[in-house]
């Protein structure tokens, strides 16, 4: 009966009906049958456990970004990097770096970088001499700020369609019809993530806030990383979910003109999808 429920709700989506409760049921119903498509599981987990996130794709990427920026910024914060900091940063940056970044920075393919990094780190932690080739990789990854979104709207939509198809909720021919609600699915994901909190190691936490405070004015969700170990706090808002949507077409005027606590265009108040299919403040 559960799958019949999901098929009927999908039928409404295919007919162009945009109902938040239908997407709630679909993402909840498919999060444990995601076939390795992590963005679908992630949104389902946000629906189920929105208040605070301690695991999952966004949490892991956010923690790696925190490690990357915290070690890279030690000099700005009048601190000295310890051996353990370099090790943590190198591991996090390897996970964050794209294949092209590794190629540009190290001149090597990812498997070769991983081999040299693992070998070099093992020697580094034991205090042994490492080779010049291992040192080059360690220097590139150990004190550099690298970031990336956990996923984007294109990945979410394609993986959502694939999970629906693999679970026999839709047929392959239905995918093109879902394109009509692609923007709605993206806006829905933004509202699911907005206001949630990422639990980092220790007592440090980072709030996820939606907005469009980026060079291209694209809707996104940032994690707000804050360092309080200086007289003036250092803020590092980093994009975790990047979309291809422009705010002017998908947001009400109140959101477009909002002067946020962190940055203009970053919303620190609850939002929803209104009856016009646009993002707006709740109220």
**According to the model, what pLDDT value does residue 50 have?**
84
**According to the model, what pLDDT value does residue 49 have?**
87
Owner of token pair 């709740």: 282
Mean pLDDT by 10 residues, the chain (283 residues): 90 93 96 94 93 88 92 82 88 96 95 95 87 93 92 97 95 91 97 94 86 96 83 81 98 92 86 96 92
**According to the model, what pLDDT value does residue 9 have?**
95
Nearest to 19 by CA among 184, 193, 180, 219: 184
Q: What does DSSP assign to residue 90?
A: H
**According to the model, what pLDDT value does residue 264 have?**
83
Rounded Cα distance, 215 and 106, in Å: 28
The model carries a pTM of 0.91
Report how far apart the first and last C-alpha atoms of the chain are (Å, whole number). Answer: 36
User: Tokens standing for 228?
Assistant: 């309080």
Q: Are 68 and 47 in contact (CB under 8 A)?
A: no
**According to the model, what pLDDT value does residue 262 have?**
67
Rounded Cα distance, 77 and 60, in Å: 24
Element (H, E) at 29: helix 20-30
User: Tokens standing for 206?
Assistant: 């980072």
Rounded Cα distance, 19 and 213, in Å: 28
User: Tokens standing for 138?
Assistant: 């360690």
């Amino acid at each position: 009966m559960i799958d019949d429920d999901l098929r009927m709700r999908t039928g409404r989506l295919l007919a162009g009906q945009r109902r938040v409760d239908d997407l709630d049921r679909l993402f909840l119903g498919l999060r444990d049958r995601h076939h390795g498509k992590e963005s679908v599981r992630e949104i389902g987990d946000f629906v189920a456990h929105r208040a605070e996130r301690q695991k999952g794709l966004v949490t892991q990427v956010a923690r790696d970004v925190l490690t990357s920026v915290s070690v890279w910024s030690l000099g700005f914060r009048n601190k000295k990097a310890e051996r353990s900091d370099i090790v943590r940063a190198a591991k996090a940056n390897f996970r964050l770096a794209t294949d092209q970044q590794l190629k540009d920075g190290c001149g090597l393919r990812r498997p070769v970088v991983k081999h040299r990094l693992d070998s070099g780190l093992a020697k580094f932690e034991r205090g042994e001499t490492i080779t010049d080739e291992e040192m080059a990789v360690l220097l590139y990854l150990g004190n550099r700020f690298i970031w990336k979104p956990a996923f984007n709207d294109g990945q979410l939509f394609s993986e959502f369609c694939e999970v629906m198809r693999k679970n026999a909720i839709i047929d392959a021919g239905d995918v093109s019809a879902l394109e009509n609600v692609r923007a709605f699915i993206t806006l829905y994901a933004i509202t699911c993530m907005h206001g949630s909190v990422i639990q980092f190691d220790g007592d440090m936490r980072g709030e996820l806030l939606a907005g469009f405070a980026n060079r291209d004015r694209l809707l996104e969700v940032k994690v707000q990383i804050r360092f309080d170990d200086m007289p003036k706090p250092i803020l590092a808002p980093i994009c975790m979910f990047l979309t291809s949507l422009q705010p002017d077409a998908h947001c009400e005027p109140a959101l477009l003109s909002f002067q946020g606590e962190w940055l203009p265009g970053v919303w620190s108040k609850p939002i929803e999808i209104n009856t016009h299919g646009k993002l707006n403040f709740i109220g």
